[in-house]
């Protein structure tokens, strides 16, 4: 089919993952932290799919793992955004270093 090496895909997903790590550690807004988390999950999904395609092309394990991971991350994002909106409603603030009252 193609002659794109396996390592090229892995390099892309590693760059994406560590961009996510950087954002997760340096951002202060909760929504941008959640977006960085999304980048990391997406990079992991790419790895599953690529290993499935290159190492076990007849099977579908990585494909289904990525599929279920997408579903779980959608659920997780919805709940996290609900929590963030609730925090904003109560404290008028979604910056992690200014939200230090967990008493509503």
State in angstroms the smallest separation of the CB of 104 from other proteins. 10
Whether the CB-CB separation of 10 and 50 falls below 8 Å is answered with: yes
Taking the least distance from each CB to other proteins, the nearer of 29 and 100 is 29
Dmax over Cα atoms in the chain, in whole Å? Answer: 58
State in angstroms the smallest separation of the CB of 102 from other proteins. 15
Taking the least distance from each CB to other proteins, the nearer of 25 and 101 is 25
Residues that bind other proteins (CB under 8 A): 1-12, 14-29, 31-32, 34-36, 38-39, 42, 45-46, 49-50, 53-55, 57-61, 63-64, 66-68, 70-75, 77-79, 81-86, 88, 94
The three state secondary structure string of the chain is: CCCCCHHHHHHHHHHHHHHHHHHHHHCCEHHHHHHHHHHHHHHHHHHHHHHHHHHCCCCCHHHHHHHHHHHHHHHHHHHHHHHHHHHHHHHCCCECCCCCCCCC
State in angstroms the smallest separation of the CB of 54 from other proteins. 5
Taking the least distance from each CB to other proteins, the nearer of 97 and 101 is 97
State in angstroms the smallest separation of the CB of 96 from other proteins. 11
């Amino acid at each position: 089919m193609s002659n794109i090496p396996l390592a090229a895909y892995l390099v892309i997903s590693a760059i994406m993952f560590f961009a996510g790590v950087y954002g997760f550690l340096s951002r202060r807004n909760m929504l941008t932290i959640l977006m960085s988390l999304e980048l990391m999950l997406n990079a992991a999904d790419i790895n599953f799919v690529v290993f499935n395609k290159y190492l076990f092309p007849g099977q579908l394990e990585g494909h289904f793992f990525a599929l279920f991971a997408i579903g779980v991350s959608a659920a997780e994002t919805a709940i996290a955004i609900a929590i963030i909106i609730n925090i904003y409603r109560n404290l008028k603030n979604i910056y992690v270093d200014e939200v230090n009252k967990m008493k509503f």
